[in-house]
């Protein structure tokens, strides 16, 4: 059993901080003015940075805890799903795109749960990591959204999201293939 001192560490605090940023971004997206999207993008970058920092620190300092293993992916999914859903009524992303992204996340979480029950750990593959990178960058552009500095943030953001969906589909296929034996053993 892990002590409170082991659980209350810097990586876990960073993860909890990331969760607390989500309502701030949510609130900022309630305002229609352009500047609030820019503010939301700044908080989003802060959240993404805490995601990289918590994982790096946890591995480097050997501060990996069950709480961190549980909270980190939840924080990531809450961040992405909340923002994507908020972008729908702002007409920054089509609802069907968000449905595909959420469906994929639920699907992979289910596959990981089934594999976990059988003692099999499915590590994130390179396609999943690329999916995340394109998705996060796409969300950043969609938060800014408007044309600035001769850059069409909307078009770039949507293109990056579509690229992330391609990586999502490839990684989903690979996840499914890697657990097909477990699913068919049943």
C-alpha to C-alpha distance for 62 and 43, rounded to whole angstroms: 28
Tens digit of pLDDT at every position of the chain (186 positions): 555 557 788 889 999 999 999 999 999 999 888 899 999 999 999 999 998 898 888 888 888 888 888 888 889 999 999 999 999 999 999 999 999 999 988 888 888 887 777 777 777 778 888 998 999 999 999 999 877 778 888 899 999 999 999 999 998 888 888 777 776 665
Q: Where are the domains of the chain?
A: 1-87, 92-179
Determine the pLDDT at residue 183: 66
Determine the pLDDT at residue 5: 55
CA distances 147 to 38, 89, 135, 150, 157, Å, are 12, 19, 20, 6, 11
The CATH code for residues 1-87 is: 1.20.120.1760
């Amino acid at each position: 059993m892990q002590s409170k001192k082991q659980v209350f560490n810097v990586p876990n605090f960073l993860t909890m901080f990331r969760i607390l940023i989500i309502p701030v971004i949510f609130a900022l997206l309630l305002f229609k003015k352009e500047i609030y999207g820019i503010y939301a993008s700044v908080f989003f970058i802060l959240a993404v940075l805490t995601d990289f920092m918590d994982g790096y620190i946890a591995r480097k300092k050997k501060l990996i805890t069950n709480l961190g293993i549980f909270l980190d992916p939840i924080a990531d999914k809450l961040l992405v799903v909340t923002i994507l859903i908020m972008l729908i009524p702002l007409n920054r992303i089509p609802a069907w795109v968000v449905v595909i992204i959420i469906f994929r996340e639920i699907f992979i979480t289910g596959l990981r749960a089934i594999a976990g029950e059988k003692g099999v750990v499915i590590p994130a593959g390179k396609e999943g990591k690329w999916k995340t990178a394109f998705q996060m960058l796409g969300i950043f552009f969609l938060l800014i959204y408007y044309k600035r500095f001769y850059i069409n943030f909307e078009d770039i953001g949507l293109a990056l999201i579509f690229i992330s969906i391609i990586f999502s589909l490839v990684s989903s296929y690979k996840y499914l293939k890697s657990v097909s034996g477990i699913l068919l053993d049943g």
